[in-house]
Chain A
């Protein structure tokens, strides 16, 4: 058994470059919501030493000096391009796990071992031609190793032409390779774990692979013990082809400008809960409680600070936008304090269970839910775009909405924003 991990290089930047070839070969970054931080960097920007998550305002000088172009994130475009990329890749194996917007695993059970590198090259070539996105392919006997193989392909540490099959390396070659890769590159080993491992003298992939699994389990967790086995080529993690339903659904955004009035916060919170409720209905779940929170800008030290959240339990589990909206607005009124410059609000649907496990209520008057209305709203919004049908509580003008001043057109999802050719 082998796995492949395929991921798009600088995915968001690559999506933008497909439709705007002028971005080819120049340093480009994509910024997070409200154009705050760097969430994607082209190779040229990485070479300048710009870190992931760097705040854009700190980069202004560097940007002027090197002509770095910044774009707002266009998630509509990235999602569409992701679906296309995943579609092309799915032609190569019946077993695919879409792991994130820009990466997926393929199960390669039954494929001849000596043909995997060729197949990797074909995937790379086909995704490049069909969708326009450059990808790297890592192949190995376990998912953890496939992730590592992908890292090797990307950094050109092993393999060739952006494809690396660790299964093709001899044992001593693997050991040498793993000696030169930091343990932090291993899937699931974050910054904190890296520090803890370092204190035990484990700083390379090789050291972790050769650590005693029993000790790792005792000192850390069974999860990390599994990682050790996976690094040794013993597959412990299977493909998850069906994404499990979420246990919590969150919707939060920072505002485009500071918000002071309760009325504006109410609009924002109503908008977020409508989005969250839509996701809730899509996974056919009901929520038993909602949480709403608001906060000022923690980085603006001169301003008075306030943050507060409240959980509102529901008498009856629901996925009805009207009932959920009423609950969060009730919660918001209790936590709102005038006189603060609010920067962010969020809602979270909690204690979810599936629709068919709904429990009756003993004392509540059977509150009207509106399944038909919700269905109509969801279908209209799927067809004509979000916000086509909404509760008036969401407001119309939405002055608090996030800023996306440098957003590219929705090239693939809106008739009036198609690429133009002359």
Chain B
């Protein structure tokens, strides 16, 4: 006889059975039965956020830094609609989160009841899957299936909408191992003929490149280990997308740095000139490809992806391999080794020589000054003073600071870098840093932020204070929407239409108001001491770093340009002019 319990009890029981220890949420009328159950147990810790969007991003941070699904609990209507940005963010970045939304009672659905919204209708296009549960007997099965769907295949957000009467009613609890999850089972093993075809291409490639993405990190630690083994065994250069940073260590000799619109010169040039591109768990995003008709014109392209719809969506590939990164890489290495571990030694040597020439451009150089803090300098100092911390986790907001963080901070391990890549959600970083800190209480968690993004969800400092989460908010304050201003510089004749704030808060006072420590720094010679003060403080810190207001983020592939037409910063211009195909500003 199945256990009888109320819908609200089932929600909590299913979460426990799924191994959930932490959820992020905000109560409200329709969610009260579930909150009442939470009150009467101590296995699940509930983090009360200050806005439901914060809950969704915190769950994303939790998920990305642990590899486990993040869980959100909110009420009906506005509670649900406030999670929409977080759901879309998780969908675009393939982050597994399960969002439980309460709903008005079934008999009131469709009556425009108080705090009623068509949650499944609204969230259908921004979830991997969603459910409206109208019968308590199926609730437990749906809960288990939701976790299965969120974490299997290409991960993503799943939403469960539960009307209040379903929470109150009694029904039969379905155990985790009896839940109906069978029909959703994406293929893990790649086609062996295609894998063999890729192994053959690897043997003859003179200018190969490994282009890895967030899929490697989603696939798990074994995928990261296999990627590193593949790189080591073949001596192929490795670049990665924004989402894939850390899968291959930044200190690794074959690391070319991030590629794409604000990627490194050597990475983009190598992508453009390669003769074999091995895309591992990335999706040819438009920030990566630039102008697609001029994207890597001389290469054979292989693409490993668990999502069949990613294959040939944007770029036609010669060797499509649908499967899980870890499974495919394991087979690929086995096949390649059994064929004699061959690579084109002479070609590779020439290729590396070419890459060294590109590296010599030193595309990340910038003109430093003693008068004002350059944002790049602030990040270089942050890197220098924190890179030895094995437990360092970085989140970011969205904009120039995000790209500089990706360029100037080095990641040695996966799951240490949480950023909003696909959706580009300003306001992601602060709540995400809370999610990371909750999952790793003793770790050093830094949110590299711009002041404009940070203000979008700054209310979450209240959450940081309530749970004593010692997150460090490292704000590069240029009093501008830096990236918007940069595009206005490049494309709109320096007409800075609404891209600066004339009434910024005093961040020191703001920090105090939230019970956090505030630090302000404006002199480059004080940066080190200020960062050390931030690191030493045991509690949340708002670090207001007043930086150069008109700094632009380089290198940059202008929108619609190919990889070999990068704009470099001032410092690189002199050296780079002679280089093949480079058009410099």
A and B are interacting partners: no
Question: A-side interface residues toward B, CB under 8 Å?
Answer: none
